């Protein structure tokens, strides 16, 4: 088995992976991913015990216990590029031997669940409600840098999306990955479910117009109107498809859970988004800690 060079996997002086600054002993097999570094403490305050706290740049990690279940919460920052860093380093922590720099003969599976914020793309999904993503549909280009075989269902959904929306393929080549069915079954009661679109930016890529015109005007309507069999797009944000894509290729179980803080169809924004986030964290932790 080939050795991974120092330039490819950077390990710091304390034996921790470079960007996360986390040692293999400091990460749990269940990892909650949040974009906002300030949200890490809002999650870990629900822990019965916190073992480790690590911080480097926007990547903050708290690992502890809820009852007997060991859980880590890691902030990724915003966007698919940061997800590429976070997921590759999380996988390295459990599946690469840091002493020999070789891939382990037995691969470990992580449970990765995003607790995020998002904008609804359907008028019947109100602000402050929760969405669990059945699929991550990427308008970013991250997964195009990795070699993989698309499943027939995911490929057909991506092709239908391109055909129905007419988005310029010079701008993006959409890709689709499904979430973990076992986790989706658990996040059923009290959660809307549907396709989450991941965008590579917040303004133009999400159809917002300030001073600059858009190359794909009418994006919101195109996303809202999309249908594929019994699936529809419920919301969009900036991380889910990258988590689903990388996680599936690495063999991990992934789910993205979002609180809706804006409804782009009804042009509404939550009157108390911090309270909505707190309710989402509490509800999602209750479900997550009940799963065997």
More confident residue, 1 or 20: 20
Same fold, 1-108 and 116-292: yes
- For the chain, the structural domain boundaries read 1-108, 116-292
Strand 111-120 and strand 69-75: the pairing is: unpaired
Mean pLDDT for the chain?
96
CATH architecture of 1-108: 3-Layer(aba) Sandwich (3.40)
Coil/strand/helix, residue 72: strand
Tally of CA atoms within 13 A in the half-sphere of 287 that contains its CB: 22
CA 23 to CA 115: how far, in whole Å?
23
Q: How buried is residue 190: exposed, middle or buried, by Cβ count under 10 Å (0-12/13-18/19+)? A: exposed
pLDDT digits (tens, 9 = 90+) for 138-193: 999 899 999 999 889 999 999 999 999 988 777 789 999 999 999 999 999 999 99
pLDDT tens by residue, 211-242: 999 988 899 999 999 999 999 999 999 999 99
Quick check: 1 pLDDT over 90?
Answer: no
Helix (H) or strand (E) segment spanning residue 233: strand 231-237
Strand pairing partners for 62? 53, 73
Class of domain 116-292: alpha beta
């Amino acid at each position: 088995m080939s050795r991974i060079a120092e330039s490819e996997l950077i390990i710091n002086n304390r034996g921790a992976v470079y960007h996360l600054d986390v040692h293999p002993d400091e990460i749990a097999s269940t990892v909650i991913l949040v974009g906002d570094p300030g949200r890490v403490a809002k999650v870990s305050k629900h822990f019965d015990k916190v073992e480790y706290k690590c911080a480097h740049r926007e990547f903050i990690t708290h690992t502890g216990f809820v009852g007997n279940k060991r859980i880590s919460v890691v902030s990724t920052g915003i966007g698919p590029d940061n997800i590429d860093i976070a997921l590759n380093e999380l996988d390295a922590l459990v599946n690469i031997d840091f002493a020999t720099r070789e891939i382990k003969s037995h691969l470990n599976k992580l449970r990765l669940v995003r607790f995020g914020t998002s904008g609804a793309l359907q008028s019947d999904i109100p602000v402050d409600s929760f969405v669990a993503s059945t699929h991550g549909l990427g308008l970013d280009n991250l997964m195009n840098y990795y070699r993989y075989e698309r499943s027939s269902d995911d490929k057909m959904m991506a092709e239908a999306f391109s055909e129905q929306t007419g988005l310029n393929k010079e701008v993006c080549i959409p890709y689709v990955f499904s979430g973990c069915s076992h986790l989706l079954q658990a996040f059923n009661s009290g959660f809307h479910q549907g396709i989450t679109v991941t965008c590579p930016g917040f303004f133009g890529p999400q159809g917002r117009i300030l001073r600059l015109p858009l190359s794909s005007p009418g994006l919101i309507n195109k996303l809202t109107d999309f249908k594929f069999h019994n699936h529809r797009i419920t919301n969009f944000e900036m991380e889910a498809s990258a988590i689903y894509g990388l996680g599936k290729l690495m063999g991990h179980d992934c789910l993205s859970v979002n609180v809706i803080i804006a409804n782009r169809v009804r042009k509404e924004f939550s009157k108390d988004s911090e309270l909505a986030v707190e309710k989402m964290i509490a509800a999602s932790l209750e479900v997550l800690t009940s799963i065997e």
